[in-house]
Amino acid sequence: MLISLSIRNFALIEKLSIDFSDGFSVITGETGAGKSILLGALGLVLGKRADLSSLRKKDEKCVVEAHFDIAAYTLQDFFKHNDLDYEDVTILRREILPTGKSRAFVNDSPVNLPELQELGLFLIDIHSQHQTQELSDEGIQFKIIDAIADNADQLAAFEVQLKGYKTRKQRLADLTFQLQEANKEQDYNAFLLDELVATALKPGLQEELEAVNEQLSNVEAIKESFAKVISLGDNEQFGVLQHLKEIKASLQKIASVSKEYAVLLERTDSTLIELDDIFGEINRHTEKLIDDPAALEKVTQKLQVIYALQKKHQVQSVEELIQLQETLSSKVAVAGDLESGIQKLKEEITADENGLNDKGAVIHQRRSEAIPKLSLQLTTILSQLGMPDARFNIRIVESDHYFLNGKDELQFLFSANKGSDFGLLKKVASGGEMSRIMLAVKAVLARYSKLPTIIFDEIDTGVSGEIANKMGEIMKSMSHEMQVFAITHLPQIAAKGTSHFKVFKSVSNEQTQSDLKQLSPEERITEIAEMLSGKDITDSAIMHAKALLS
C-alpha cells in the first residue's frame, strides 16, 4: 500500500508531503485544482516519461518520492532478480534535473525506467474511464477468469512446460535441417574417408616410407661401400683390426711398467671391441641387403598415394591427413547421431504434448467451473449499479494450439438490455456501462487475488444519485481487501471514504500552486455540502452532508 507521497517542484506543486492510510480514501477538489497533477506525479515515480515541462522552477530539480508497504506482496524474487535491496517499506524516488536528465531509485539504488515500470505494476493500478477498454483485451479477460479459478499454479506449470516444449521443437527443426544437409554430403564424405582409411595412415609413416624407399633405391651402392669398409677393416694382412691387434699386443708388454701405459692398453682394447662390433654390424646389414624391385615398387606406390592425398586436401603432412580423417569420420557419424537425437527429441516432444494437454485440460475445467461464478457476481453487482438486465455469455473452447495461458479460446460477450443480442464488450457497451463493468470486475477480483493499491480516477463520471451511492459502497467493500483511492466529484462517493483529501489551488507571491490536505471531520462536512450545493452552502446542504457521512 501507498504510505506516503512527497512532491517537490512538479508542475503547480511547489512542495507537498502527505501520509495515507489503508482502507478507502477519497480525493476531491474543483476541476483544474490539480488532481491530474497528483496523478502525474504518481505516474512519474512509477516510471512514466518526463521532460522539462514537469519542472515548476526550471533551474531546480523535481523530486517525487513514494513510500510503499510491500510486505504482503511477496516481491522478494523481483528484487533479487533485479539485484535490488528488498525492504518491507520500499522507497521509490524519481528526479528530473534542470538539464532534462532523469534519474530513478529504488531504496536508494539507481534503476532504469523499465525496472521501475515493472515494479510499479505490482504497486498501483491507476484506473480512469479511458482505460475501461482494457476489458476488451482477451488477455485481461483470461486473467479475470483465472483469478476466480485460482489457476495461478496451474498456469505457471503450463508455462514452464510450454517453454521447454518450444525449445525442443526449435531444436528438432535445427537437427532436422542439419540431417538434411549432412545427407547431401554423406556420400562424398564417406568416399573421402574410405580413401584415407585405406591408406592406413599413422604418425611418422611418410618419413618411414621415404627412408625405406631411399634404401631400396641404392642397394648396389650401399653393398659396394660396405664391401670396401669390410676389406679395409678385416683384411688379415693390412686390415685395421689386424693392425689394432698388433698395437694391443705391443702395449700389453709394457702395461705393467706404468699406469699411463696400462690406460693406453685399456683404451686400445675398448677401441678394438667397438671396431669389432661395428664391422659385425656392417656384415649383418650386408647380409640383409636384397635387391627387391617389387618391394621398392610397393613403397613407391604408397608414397605416391600419400603425396596425392596431401595435394588433394592441400596439406603438408600425414599428421594433417589423420586430423582430416578424424573430422570426416565425425561428419559421417553425425548423420547417425542426428537421427538418434531427432528420435529422442520426438519422444520428449510427445511427452511434452501429453503434459500440456493434461495441464490444459485441468485449466479448462477450472475455468469452466469459474465462469458461472464470475457471471453471477458481475451481474449481481451491475444490478446494484443500475444495470438490472446486464448479462454475460462467456464461453471457452479447447483448441489444438498451445497458448501462453493454456489451450483455450475465449468469447467474452455481453448484453446490457433485456432482449438485445450478445456482442463484444467494446461494441455493445457504452462508456458509462464499461466504467461500471470495470468497477464490478475489480470488486470481484479483490475477493480472489492480492491486487495492488487501486486509484479510480473519476470512474463515476456520468452517474449520480443511488447508483453513485452503490459505487461508493462497492469501493468501500473493496477496501477491506486492499487500499483504494477514488478521485471523485460525487458527494455520495466522497462520503464513503474512511479518509478524505482535498486538492486545492492557492496563490502565494503571485504564483498559483496546487496543494493537498487531509480534511478533518468538520472540514469534510463543509466539503461535501459544497459538492452538493456549490459555493453558497445552505443549511439543507449541511444537513444532507451530515446524513451522507453518517
For the beta carbon of residue 154, count every other beta carbon within 10 angstroms: 20
In this predicted structure, what is the pLDDT of residue 233? 67
Contact 264, 251 (CB under 8 A): yes
Of 428 and 408, the structure prediction assigns the larger pLDDT to: 408
Of 349 and 316, the structure prediction assigns the larger pLDDT to: 349
In this predicted structure, what is the pLDDT of residue 115? 93
Residue 36 has pLDDT above 80, yes or no: yes
Query: What CA–CA distance (Å, rounded) separates 367 from 84?
Result: 36
Residue 216 has pLDDT above 80, yes or no: no
Nearest of 483, 439, 444 to residue 70 by alpha carbon: 483
Query: What is the model's pTM?
Result: 0.67
Burial of 312 (0-12, 13-18, 19+ CB in 10 A): exposed
Residue 402 has pLDDT above 90, yes or no: yes
Give start and end residues of each alpha helix (H) in 235-317: 240-254, 259-288, 293-313
Residue 425 has pLDDT above 80, yes or no: yes
List Cα–Cα distances, 28 to 32, 131, 327, 519, in angstroms: 11, 20, 79, 10
In this predicted structure, what is the pLDDT of residue 378? 94
Q: How many helices (H) and strands (E) does the chain have?
A: 17, 15
In terms of residues, how long is the chain? Answer: 550
Of 307 and 336, the structure prediction assigns the larger pLDDT to: 307
Residue 86 has pLDDT above 90, yes or no: yes
Judged by average pLDDT, the poorest of 52-66, 345-359, 399-413 is 52-66
Torsion of CA 257, 263, 268, 273, to 10 degrees: 120
pLDDT digits (tens, 9 = 90+) for 173-207: 998 888 887 777 666 777 777 788 888 888 877 77
Query: What CA–CA distance (Å, rounded) separates 544 from 280?
Result: 137
Query: What CA–CA distance (Å, rounded) separates 19 from 131?
Result: 27
**Cell matching residue 13:** 506543486
In this predicted structure, what is the pLDDT of residue 197? 80
The 8-class DSSP code of residue 419 comes to: T
**Once rounded to an integer, what is the mean pLDDT over residues 490-495?**
93
Domains, the chain, in order of start with CATH, read: 1-131+449-519 (3.40.50.300), 177-337 (no CATH), 524-550 (no CATH)
Query: What CA–CA distance (Å, rounded) separates 226 from 289?
Result: 10
CA angle, corner 338, sides to 334 and 343, nearest 5? 155
In this predicted structure, what is the pLDDT of residue 204? 79
Mean pLDDT of the chain: 86
Q: Percentage of residues in the chain with pLDDT exceeding 90?
A: 43
If pLDDT is split at 50, 70 and 90, which confidence band does 389 have?
very high
Q: Percentage of residues in the chain with pLDDT exceeding 70?
A: 93
Query: What CA–CA distance (Å, rounded) separates 357 from 350?
Result: 10
Query: What CA–CA distance (Å, rounded) separates 515 from 524?
Result: 17
**Once rounded to an integer, what is the mean pLDDT over residues 453-472?**
84
Q: What burial letters (b/e) apply to 477-501, b meaning 16+ CB within 10 Å? A: bbbeebbbbbbbbbbbbbbbbebbb
Nearest of 445, 429, 431 to residue 374 by alpha carbon: 445
Query: What CA–CA distance (Å, rounded) separates 88 from 474?
Result: 29
For the beta carbon of residue 92, count every other beta carbon within 10 angstroms: 25
Backbone angles phi, psi at 130, to 5 degrees: -70, -20
For the beta carbon of residue 162, count every other beta carbon within 10 angstroms: 20
Q: Which stretches of 431-547 are assigned E, i.e. beta strand?
A: 453-457, 484-487, 499-508, 511-518
**Cell matching residue 516:** 493537498
In this predicted structure, what is the pLDDT of residue 501? 95
